[in-house]
Structure 1
Amino acid sequence: MSIDSNSNADICTDCTTQDTDENETTSLLINGSVQSRARGASFFSSVFNLMNAIMGSGILGLAYAMASTGIIGFCILLTLVSSLAAYSIHLLLKLCDQTGINSYEDLGGIALKYPGKVLVGIAIIIQNIGAMSSYLFILKLELPAAIKGFLTPDNTGDAWYDDGRWLLILVTLCVVLPLAMLPRIGFLGYTSSLAFCFMLYFTVVVVVKKWSIPCPLPHNATTPSSTNQQTSNSSDSECAPKLFVLSRESAYAVPTMAFSFLCHTAVLPIYCELERPTKARMQSVANVGISLSFLVYLVSALFGYLTFYAHVNSQLLLGYDAYMPRDIMVVTVRLAILLSVLLTVPLIHFPARKAVILLLRGRRPFSWPVHVFATLTILCVVLVMAIFVPDIRNVFGVVGSTTSSCLLFIFPGVFYLRISSQPLTSFDSVGAVLLVAFGIAMGVTSFTVIILTWVQSS
């Protein structure tokens, strides 16, 4: 990894998304070159780690995004967002080579001084709080159904575990809080392979169950007679996939995709740990990881949409409850997703807490009181959001149109224009301008439509 001779020689030693005292990888500037003291990660291991950073709760909302944009519209938008995500990673890697900085926050500091560092830190905090809220939201909705799946119908009356809010509070206090409180949580990294396997299993189940639920769907699953009252014309219209759709709900599509492809806070740490780290090699890691994630997203969204069509739920798993609540594959995939989500929340919490402490205290020595206070504060905010937010699409829409668009599109372009010495007419400079313009246009348009939708609904 080369460094421009005129660049700032400040090498960020924080090459992981965990706290400073947890680092196992450190980059040093020796005689003008970066040398890593850690064992390098292989190419395929780095691809796998990046895919785990990309794929998360967004996969549950992409079928709804397809229903809101149509199949062809969704494919075009998903291709555009994934391509721009790969290009913005290209710009970040060029800046990393030029400056020797391996931290997103520090790149903001180089580009825009202290305000830039603060902006990036705030964006990371909001983004990760939104991600954790979406994960806990899934737990709130799916955990009661998962418990009922293992009980006999006689034991599924009104019980305390029917209320997902109480279950969410209990799980947060008993599982999430102890894991998030630990100053060293590296052992949870071994669960990343399981989390990715769970996502693949989810996709397989969505494909298989496409042929298990007949079309047309009853509008009320608890009254099967409603199916017999549907006319043939309505059946044809309900079972016909839409190629292009444009409505107010379409405003949630691109932010959901941006939310689903955001991995930029993990790219530089993965680059730092890569065996034989070169920009071309890391760009190949990013391209392969984004491409494979694109395929998993597309397949799960397509078959989820072709199962429920216009009646697809904003949280895809909920759609199966009305038609096959005790199906063994649905029950097992629900447990797989819940386990993946449960073990991912503490990991997402770490960079958010790190950004909070960095903004409040700088790089001062570790302090247990500050550590505990930041942990409890963040988890309380996340828990309140997960309990009171009525729909997961609101999390995807708001976070995706604001912080995701900034971290994915706007910040990489602005930082490149501020730091790079390339002329404004060069290819990457023009690309950076277009990236910033797209991010601003997408974010402002989507956020405005979402707010107007809320106002009209209220």
Structure 2
Amino acid sequence: MSLMSATAGDRSFRRGPKTPLLPENHYQYDKHYHPHHHGTEHFEGFDGASFSGAVFNLSTTIVGAGIMALPATFKQLGLIPGVTLIILAALLTEFSIDMILRFSKASKSTSYASVAGDSFGVFGRTISQVCIIVNNLGMLVVYLIIIGDVLAGTWTMGLRHRGLMEEWFGQQWWWTSRSILLLLTTCFVIAPLISFKRVDSLRYTSALSVGLAVVFVAITAGVTIVKMLEGTIKMPPLFPELVDQAAFWKLFTTIPILVTAYICHHNVHPIENELTDPSQMKSIVRTSLILCSSVYVATSFFGFLLFGEQTLDDVLANFDGDLGVPYSSLLDDVIRVSYGVHLMLVFPIVFYSLRLNVDGLLFPHAIPIGYDNKRFYSLTACLMGFIFLGANSVPSIWDAFQFTGATATISVGYIFPAAIALRDNHGIATRKDRLISWVMIPLAVLSSTVAILSDIYSFFVTNKGHET
């Protein structure tokens, strides 16, 4: 493409009223110039993403840090409500994504923000972008916090949980410190992975990350079953134990965790846009949700069963002591290494859509970011620096989950899809769509409000207890 034709194309790209202001990847730029290309990138040697690659990428988006906080939610809720809510959240997630896909097709939108813009104009597009940015930033900060916990250790309930580096090499102030280890991980592992301009380039690392999550679940289940056979584990409560008013309000703090665990809406369009056959996206979503729900239920059940009331907010921190089985120390290390590496591989998938939405918010009329190297790498460096500072400032993953889960995440996962269906600009909403949407919005708003109020209540109760 000549410079003159590119300039002319850019002018038409800026003016076209039907052109999405947030291109989800750079080959949408090609599709504007080459309208006969649908869903595949106009690059030599790339014929479109496969079904399996898309499943791995979407599953990796879902199974991130949320899995580590799920056993703690079972400690609050009990087994039966916990399993029920995990399955219910998966069903609502599938329904909300299906609505987004249908309305995207009707409006010819190629991003979450553009379908929100089709329904609610510039305001809707902007708010959806802000929500995705807050959600993804929160999640990526959580990932780095957990990676830091694995490598450098953490303090929980006044107890010191040692990190892998300290266990293996002893405490060396200059390179086993949390900040130094996170800096090295960022520079040598994460930075190369977030430099890819195509989400399908991450399909192999996504497959590996899903495999490592399964390794974590398998080892946890194996240790739990061995201890059950030995009779050293007692059955945990099936329902929550409400000993006082604070315990009741604390139940609602689990809602943002469960909501956050399934949020993948921001990556649905980037993955769909690269598919050889975009009509497979609905099956890809269902397959990914079934896989992830199975992993979530198994992790929550066996993790809570293994540690009981000693289950920490980040269950990974529990794997630093004697598990009561042979080769306990080795199993602890394998579990923490596998999940630490898993999160390093999940990071670029979530970062991909974060960068696109920040770019769409700041430069809504510019050419796609994949065609502007200076903007691409400058924005990548700024976002990564912000995430790094956040991971060294936020005290725990529970705090980060509660903030993002009770605000932006609920909006991305439930409020926006339901509002788009109720707005129904294209007259395609079914009676079922409207019925479930009227249930989802009040439920999401109520859950968010109660979760925030319960956090405030718990904060003041805790401070009052400390003063006493």
Cα distance in 2 between the residues matched to 1:191 and 1:102: 25
Cα distance in 1 between the residues matched to 2:454 and 2:76: 14
Mapped contact 1:179–1:185 kept (Cα < 8 A):
no
Letter of the 1:69 counterpart? L
2:355: which partner in 1?
353
Mapped contact 2:72–2:312 kept (Cα < 8 A):
yes
Q: What is the CA deviation profile of residues 90-134 of structure 1, one whole-angstrom value per residue up to 9, with x for unaligned ones?
A: 211220221111200111211111111111111111111111101
Give how far 1:146 is off. 2.0
SS in 2 for 1:322: coil
Q: Which residue of 132, 139, 163 corresponds with 2:177?
A: 163
- Equivalent residues in 2 for 1:165-204 (5 A)? 165-177=179-191, 179-180=193-194, 187-204=201-218
Give how far 1:355 is off. 1.6
Give how far 1:212 is off. 5.7
1:296: which partner in 2?
295
Cα distance in 1 between the residues matched to 2:380 and 2:197: 11
1:340 aligns with 2:342: yes
Mapped contact 1:206–1:300 kept (Cα < 8 A):
yes
> Closer, same or farther in 2 for the Cα pair 1:379/1:424, shift >3 Å?
closer
Percent of aligned pairs with the same amino acid = 23
- Equivalent residues in 2 for 1:24-423 (5 A)? 26=31, 35-38=38-41, 39-144=47-152, 145-149=163-167, 151=168, 156-157=170-171, 159-177=173-191, 179-180=193-194, 187-211=201-225, 239-245=234-240, 247=247, 248-278=249-279, 281-324=280-323, 327-365=329-367, 366=369, 367=372, 370-422=375-427
Give how far 1:29 is off. 9.6
> Closer, same or farther in 2 for the Cα pair 1:24/1:212, shift >3 Å?
farther
Mapped contact 2:54–2:271 kept (Cα < 8 A):
yes
1:436: which partner in 2?
441
Mapped contact 2:70–2:296 kept (Cα < 8 A):
yes
Deviating more after overlay: 325-334 vs 264-273 = 325-334
Mapped contact 2:322–2:329 kept (Cα < 8 A):
no
Give how far 1:175 is off. 3.8
Q: What is the CA deviation profile of residues 358-412 of structure 1, one whole-angstrom value per residue up to 9, with x for unaligned ones?
A: 2122131455554454333322322222112222111111111111101110000
2:3: which partner in 1?
none
Give how far 1:192 is off. 0.8
Q: What is the CA deviation profile of residues 278-297 of structure 1, one whole-angstrom value per residue up to 9, with x for unaligned ones?
A: 3xx43232222111211110
Mapped contact 1:61–1:393 kept (Cα < 8 A):
yes
Letter of the 1:403 counterpart? A
Letter of the 2:322 counterpart? Y
Letter of the 2:437 counterpart? A
1:228: which partner in 2?
none
2:461: which partner in 1?
456
Give how far 1:421 is off. 4.3
Letter of the 2:165 counterpart? I
Deviating more after overlay: 323-332 vs 292-301 = 323-332
Deviating more after overlay: 185-194 vs 438-447 = 185-194
2:9: which partner in 1?
none
Q: What is the CA deviation profile of residues 249-306 of structure 1, one whole-angstrom value per residue up to 9, with x for unaligned ones?
A: 322322111111001112223333344433xx43232222111211110001100000
Calculate the aligned-residue CA RMSD, in Å: 3.2
Deviating more after overlay: 289-298 vs 21-30 = 21-30
Cα distance in 1 between the residues matched to 2:328 and 2:272: 44
Give how far 1:333 is off. 2.4
The alignment covers a number of residue pairs equal to 421
Cα distance in 1 between the residues matched to 2:60 and 2:317: 23
Give how far 1:181 is off. 5.5
Cα distance in 1 between the residues matched to 2:177 and 2:407: 31
Cα distance in 1 between the residues matched to 2:339 and 2:186: 16
Cα distance in 2 between the residues matched to 1:46 and 1:88: 19
Mapped contact 1:179–1:346 kept (Cα < 8 A):
yes
Cα distance in 1 between the residues matched to 2:17 and 2:37: 10
Cα distance in 1 between the residues matched to 2:361 and 2:61: 23
Give how far 1:49 is off. 2.7
Cα distance in 1 between the residues matched to 2:50 and 2:195: 30
Mapped contact 2:96–2:413 kept (Cα < 8 A):
yes
Q: Which runs of 5+ in 2 are unaligned?
A: 1-15, 42-46, 153-162, 464-468
Cα distance in 2 between the residues matched to 1:415 and 1:199: 34
Cα distance in 1 between the residues matched to 2:282 and 2:196: 33
Give how far 1:24 is off. 9.5
Q: Which runs of 5+ in 1 are unaligned?
A: 1-7, 218-234
> Closer, same or farther in 2 for the Cα pair 1:36/1:28, shift >3 Å?
farther
Give how far 1:318 is off. 0.9
Mapped contact 1:15–1:26 kept (Cα < 8 A):
no
Deviating more after overlay: 34-43 vs 186-195 = 34-43
Mapped contact 1:133–1:386 kept (Cα < 8 A):
yes
Cα distance in 2 between the residues matched to 1:25 and 1:330: 49
Mapped contact 2:252–2:447 kept (Cα < 8 A):
no
> Closer, same or farther in 2 for the Cα pair 1:426/1:183, shift >3 Å?
closer
Calculate the TM-score normalised by the size of structure 2.
0.80
Give how far 1:314 is off. 1.0
Deviating more after overlay: 345-354 vs 258-267 = 345-354
Mapped contact 2:40–2:274 kept (Cα < 8 A):
no
